[in-house]
Structure 1
Amino acid sequence: MIKLGVLDQVYVNEGQTATEGLQQSTRLAKATEDLGYTRYWVSEHHAMRALAFSSPEVLVAHLAAATSRIRVGSGGIMLPHYSAYKVAENFRLLEALHPGRIDLGLGRAPGGMPLATRALQQNKYVDVNKYPQQVLDIIGYLHDSIPVGHPFEKLMVAPSISTAPEIWLLGSSAESAKIAASLGTSYAFAEFFGTPGGEAATQHYNEHFEANSVLKDHQRSMIATLVICADTEEEANRLATSSDLLFLGIRTGLEIRFLPSVSTAVNYPYTEMDLQHIKQIRKSRVIGTPAQVKEQLLQMSKDYHVGEILLNSPIHDEKARIHSYKLIAEAFGMNVQRED
């Protein structure tokens, strides 16, 4: 059976504050841990009013402290903005605080509009082509294996510990899959972006994986997809209208400063072109009853050649969101303990 985890972008729900959104995510992390989900990842996006945070490493610390078993990680750190050494320090500290529970997902994308990227990279030269070397540097720092001749070969990364976070490379293109395969890291494909070529990307990773002598055999691949589940197909589609409107805004350049309520989404004055956009958006969504969702996720696991899927469920109503994860957990026979 495939493993299921959570990808949380921590939306600010219409009518609520960012603080309330973060509190909801904390409750969701606790609930999905009790439901038997394996991972809880949070993303990195900058200067987006609809999202409650921009610093995944800080939120990972909070969520890991609020839980006790589920793996918690970044999905991901946008590495070209940062020093590999500083990222290694942050995540080694997280690993020391929560041994065996921290994931370090890394990405190449800017995670925001050009103005935010300029601010993040102010007074520094950034070459995205150096991303693979940055990843190798992080592996070296976290595993005390910086090669001889490296300018920082004698540099210590505090704290000194015997374990290290799992390292995942994230992507929505074949290029990231090629880098992950060549470096010997785990790989996650952002299926919910709707970018074509995901099946070929994961297949390339699986077929061309080269074991890393430091990481040993860490060949793992998974996808992240948007899933909304309810007791009836009609209710699932109703709940999905919130994300329909949000992603319509992203696609058309209209900034929506919150995750809309179902009422707002249903009553929005859509144009014919808007409806065509939503129809296209829905093609990369899993929406339905527990049986329908299970069938689609199992098929996606086969199509993408992955054994794990992260579920991103932007549902405005908190109880309905937790219930969605509970229904899926029950459908897959996971260790369901309670529902908040």
Structure 2
Amino acid sequence: MTGEDQQTRGDIRGTVRGSAPAPLSILDLATVGAGHTAAQALAATTDLARSAEQWGYHRFWVAEHHGMPGVASSTPAVLIAHLGAHTSTLRLGSGGVMLPNHAPLAIAEQFGLLEALHPGRIDLGLGRAPGTDQATARALRRGHAEGADDFPEQLAELTHFLDGDFPDGHPYSRLSAVPSGPERPPIWLLGSSGFSAQLAGRLGLPFAFAHHFSATNTVPALELYRSSFRPSAVLAEPYALIGVSAVAVEEGGRPAARRLARSAALGMLRLRRGMPGPIPTPEEAERHLYTPAEAEFIDGWLANVVHGAPGEVADGLEDLRKRTGADELMVTSHIHGHRARLRSYGLIAQAYGLTDRAEPLT
């Protein structure tokens, strides 16, 4: 497949809908809020995916995390297969699979199977971080010496398995990733620093940057990606999306939205201190007695969350898009309560004219 063919199909370049100046997508972590179970969180993610398709979001990614009680998406391939059975047009993908945790052949088989199940709808986003603490990473990689330092080699091996084009004489030249077909999912590189940005540019791959937890690095990383970019059979020119934390509310404006976002900030504070748990309720976040250092962390975290009334969020996202030059925005609302999350995404879609109603259509 040529780069022109892939761009025409929209495998990489998103679809602009409504009045949005760029494609809008969703990153979901199957958020487990305090008082809820993982099963309830996964049911909520399924409901959100169906609603996202109805509203007109372009793609819906889930991320690999381990050992985090507040995140139920430990195995993206399994969850993507489930979501594919409950949607029909929405692009689904990993944001991402942490490649050093897995054998490249296993990922090639998993995503080859997903492509066979849901042809033309699958994205394979790859990260080089473990997505967990070091002890859990060692348990996941038991028997494998590779790690983040070997990411380029692992990526090359995975690509050969997907394309079935190991050179003659390679130890794996007679191996095949099954199932495989005439098309395979496009590979995206994910990152929160310059390493993956530069690698994605050098290989001519699309790049996704985690602005939602590494905002100070966003512009430098995207500039590095573009300056490093070399046209490839995948892309003729750079294509970058950024993940953005966003919370929209119908009433109460920025104070009400900040109240919801603060619960996610407290959850992140606890994670950074080695005390991961479900996402606390807004009431718990309000009751928490913050030390000066904790208050500074919370304020810094919330400064990178686009929040407020729907129009304010749309304006904030557009300001960010212009400042970074991102080709696509992938919003994430990692907050407590399915109804609040669902409402936030619906209001954002409505603000951009993707839909005329913020409630799910079913």
How would you bin the TM-score normalised by the shorter chain?
over 0.9
CA distance in 2 between counterparts of 1:128 and 1:247 reads: 23
Comparing 76-85 and 229-238, the one that deviates more: 229-238
The offset of 1:265, in angstroms, is: 1.2
Q: Are 1:17 and 2:37 counterparts?
A: yes
Gaps of 5+ in 1: none
Matches within 5 A, 1:36-47: 36-47=56-67
Matches within 5 A, 1:25-64: 25-64=45-84
The offset of 1:168, in angstroms, is: 0.4
Q: Is the 8 A contact 2:343 2:358 kept in 1?
A: no
Gaps of 5+ in 2: 1-20
Q: Are 1:225 and 2:244 counterparts?
A: yes
Structure-2 change in CA distance of 1:144 and 1:327 (3 Å): same
Find the residue that maps to 1:111 and give its secondary structure. coil
Structure-2 change in CA distance of 1:218 and 1:129 (3 Å): farther
Question: Which letter does structure 1 place at the counterpart of 2:255?
Answer: E
Question: Which letter does structure 2 place at the counterpart of 1:194?
Answer: S
Question: Which letter does structure 2 place at the counterpart of 1:150?
Answer: H
Choose which of 297, 308, 327 in structure 2 pairs with 1:307.
Answer: 327
Structure-2 change in CA distance of 1:295 and 1:255 (3 Å): same
The offset of 1:195, in angstroms, is: 4.8
RMSD: 1.7
Q: Is the 8 A contact 1:211 1:218 kept in 2?
A: yes
Q: Is the 8 A contact 1:26 1:66 kept in 2?
A: yes
The offset of 1:127, in angstroms, is: 4.1
Find the residue that maps to 2:230 and give its secondary structure. coil
Q: Are 1:240 and 2:246 counterparts?
A: no
The match for 2:108 is 88
The match for 2:298 is 278
Q: Is the 8 A contact 2:261 2:335 kept in 1?
A: yes
CA distance in 2 between counterparts of 1:88 and 1:60 reads: 15
Comparing 261-270 and 165-174, the one that deviates more: 261-270
**1:242-294 deviation per Cα after TM superposition (whole angstroms, max 9, x unaligned):** 1121122123x052421111111111122222211111111221111112111
CA distance in 1 between counterparts of 2:105 and 2:122 reads: 17
Q: Is the 8 A contact 1:34 1:336 kept in 2?
A: no
Question: Which letter does structure 2 place at the counterpart of 1:33?
Answer: E
Q: Is the 8 A contact 2:258 2:308 kept in 1?
A: yes
The offset of 1:212, in angstroms, is: 2.7
Matches within 5 A, 1:113-128: 113-128=133-148
Find the residue that maps to 1:152 and give its secondary structure. coil
Question: Which letter does structure 2 place at the counterpart of 1:222?
Answer: L
**1:32-85 deviation per Cα after TM superposition (whole angstroms, max 9, x unaligned):** 111111111111111112222311111111111111111111111111121111
Runs of 4+ in 1 over 6 A off after TM superposition: none
The offset of 1:186, in angstroms, is: 0.9
Find the residue that maps to 1:40 and give its secondary structure. strand
Structure-2 change in CA distance of 1:78 and 1:198 (3 Å): same
Q: Is the 8 A contact 2:62 2:73 kept in 1?
A: no
CA distance in 2 between counterparts of 1:34 and 1:338 reads: 10
**1:7-32 deviation per Cα after TM superposition (whole angstroms, max 9, x unaligned):** 11112111111111111111011111
Question: Which letter does structure 2 place at the counterpart of 1:210?
Answer: R
The match for 2:15 is none
**1:82-106 deviation per Cα after TM superposition (whole angstroms, max 9, x unaligned):** 1111111110110010011001000
Find the residue that maps to 1:197 and give its secondary structure. helix
Find the residue that maps to 1:115 and give its secondary structure. helix
Q: Is the 8 A contact 1:224 1:309 kept in 2?
A: yes
Q: Are 1:4 and 2:9 counterparts?
A: no
Q: Are 1:267 and 2:287 counterparts?
A: yes
Q: Are 1:296 and 2:316 counterparts?
A: yes
CA distance in 1 between counterparts of 2:322 and 2:150 reads: 33
Question: Which letter does structure 2 place at the counterpart of 1:220?
Answer: Y
Number of matched residues? 338
Question: Which letter does structure 1 place at the counterpart of 2:202?
Answer: S
TM-score of the aligned structures, taking structure 1 as reference length: 0.94
Question: Which letter does structure 2 place at the counterpart of 1:73?
Answer: G
Percent sequence identity over aligned pairs = 38
Choose which of 178, 192, 203 in structure 2 pairs with 1:172.
Answer: 192
The offset of 1:153, in angstroms, is: 2.2
The match for 2:6 is none
Choose which of 302, 307, 311 in structure 2 pairs with 1:287.
Answer: 307
**1:177-212 deviation per Cα after TM superposition (whole angstroms, max 9, x unaligned):** 001111121100001113522111112212321123
The match for 1:140 is 160
The offset of 1:137, in angstroms, is: 2.2
The match for 1:71 is 91
